[in-house]
Amino acid sequence: MNREKDVADHLLAHRRLLIIAHAGPDGDTLGSALALSGLLAQMGHEAQVVCHDHVPPTLNFLPGADRVVSWNRVRPDEWEGLVAVDCGSPSRMAWPKDSGWERLSLLNIDHHAHNPEFGTVNWIDANAAATGEMITRLAFGSGWPITPEIAMCLYTAISTDTLSFRQVNTTSQTLAWAAQLADRGLNLASLNQLLWEHQKAGEVRLLGWALSHMNLSRDHRVAWLEVTRAIMDAFGVHDATVDTLVHHLRAIDSVQVAVVTKEMDRPGWVKISWRGKQDIDVSQYAIQFGGGGHRYAAAAQVAGSITEVTRQVLQVIGVGPA
């Protein structure tokens, strides 16, 4: 069975599609959704990207980012079908309850291994480094034109989900697809600067604070950090900036598991971000808190105080404070 052809046929059979980027959008979900929207628009289809949350400032440069709408701007009777992009579980779509969306056909495109295949049609590839890699494969395999704008979205999706091709999910095929996207008129130096070297002064100062306030377990194999809304306000940073701090904790040579707990803008809720190395599957930790993700990167959102949630996270990992 040619899965890409089946997916392409399903997409082209619908003239009006609503493409769903997951709540708390990152580069993979937004880049993939915007690229797919652009690809379909070129072929005369109407495609709109919807997301529960605003596009983070770090991704405002993506072509079409200014046209992403929230759920209150769309109605089920306006669309023939839905496409969930990079949504590891139904809850990640964050659509309004009892609003009629569940009556529409849903194409589920994702690369998370624990995706429960909640769509009417499901295309799940846990071997793909990013959902953006899957969309890239679909576009090239279907012979769809890839403009520089679409290539920018797809390259962003792949680059951000592999941490600039440094994560264990990066394969030779991932690099090959990125090279083909680069050949579609990308200015790689400029794009990589936007992705990786475009920080505000407050964001850099937050990193200094984080490195001086992080905690290490007695054996230095676990690093963790708590970030409150008060800290975020003090440095003038947004949620997406805080989400990058866990990578710096993971960079410590002895650390095998890095965790950041962050107070969400939803009062009484905490986001947990895990990153792992080698043989430790951090997605198993996330599942215990109702979340999910990948073997090396996972997250969850839970109700509770940040102090209590952090205590529970450390207890599950099995390592106490230093």
HEC assignment per residue over the chain? CCHHHHHHHHHHCCCEEEEEECCCCCHHHHHHHHHHHHHHHHCCCEEEEEECCCCCHHHCCCCCHHHCECHHHCCHHHCCEEEEECCCCHHHHCCCCCCCHHHCEEEEEECCCCCCCCCCEEEECCCCCCHHHHHHHHHHHHCCCCCHHHHHHHHHHHHHHCCCCCCCCCCHHHHHHHHHHHCCCCCHHHHHHHHHCCCCHHHHHHHHHHHHHCEEECCCCEEEEEECHHHHHHHCCCHHHHHCHHHHHHCCCCCCEEEEEEECCCCCEEEEEEEECCCCCCHHHHHHCCCEECCCEEEEEEECCHHHHHHHHHHHHCCCEC
Share of the chain above pLDDT 70, in %: 99
The angle formed by the CA atoms of residues 306, 292 and 153, to the nearest 5 degrees, is 105
Model pLDDT, residue 1: 46
Q: Which two tokens stand for residue 317?
A: 């990992």
Give me the pLDDT at residue 196, please: 93
Mean pLDDT along residues 253-258: 96
Q: Is the pLDDT of residue 98 over 90?
A: no
The whole-number average pLDDT for the span 9-38 is 97
Written as six digits, the tokens of 139 are 């576009």
Chain-centre distance for alpha carbon 192: 18
Domain with CATH 3.90.1640.10 in the chain: 3-196
Q: So what's the pLDDT on residue 320?
A: 61
Rounded to 10 degrees, the C-alpha dihedral 303/305/308/309 comes to 40
Which structure tokens are listed for 19?
């493409």
Backbone dihedral angles phi then psi of residue 71, each to the nearest 5 degrees: -60, -30
Q: In this predicted model, which residue has the larger pLDDT, 322 or 142?
A: 142
pTM check: above 0.75 = yes
Mean pLDDT score, 184-200: 95
Please give the structure tokens belonging to residue 145: 């034109």
Distance CA 60, CA 42 (A): 22
Between β-strands 105-110 and 81-85, what pairing exists: parallel, antiparallel or unpaired? parallel
User: CA-to-CA distance for 9 and 105, rounded, in angstroms?
Assistant: 14
Which candidate, 155, 162, 149, places its Cα nearest to that of 192?
A: 155
φ, ψ of residue 14 in degrees (nearest 5): -115, 125
Higher per-residue confidence, 267 vs 97: 267
Angle between helix 172-182 and helix 131-142 axes, rounded to 10 deg = 60
pLDDT at 221: 94
Under CATH, which number does the domain 3-196 receive? 3.90.1640.10
Q: Tens of pLDDT along 65-87?
A: 999 999 999 999 999 999 999 99
Averaged confidence pLDDT in the chain: 95
- State yes or no: pLDDT of 11 exceeds 90: yes
Give the pairing of strands 257-263 and 269-276: antiparallel
Summarize pLDDT for 121-165 with one digit per residue, the tens: 999 999 999 999 999 999 999 999 999 999 999 999 999 999 999
Q: What is the pLDDT of residue 279?
A: 80
Residue 322 in this model has a pLDDT that exceeds 60: no
**Non-local CB neighbours of 19 within 8 Å, separated by 6+ positions:** 33, 36, 37, 47, 48, 49, 50, 82, 83, 85
- pLDDT tens-digit series, residues 257-281: 999 999 999 899 999 999 998 788 9
What kind of architecture, by CATH, is found in domain 201-317?
Roll (3.10)
At position 309, the amino acid (one-letter code) is: V
pLDDT in tens, 287-319: 999 988 888 899 999 999 999 999 999 999 987
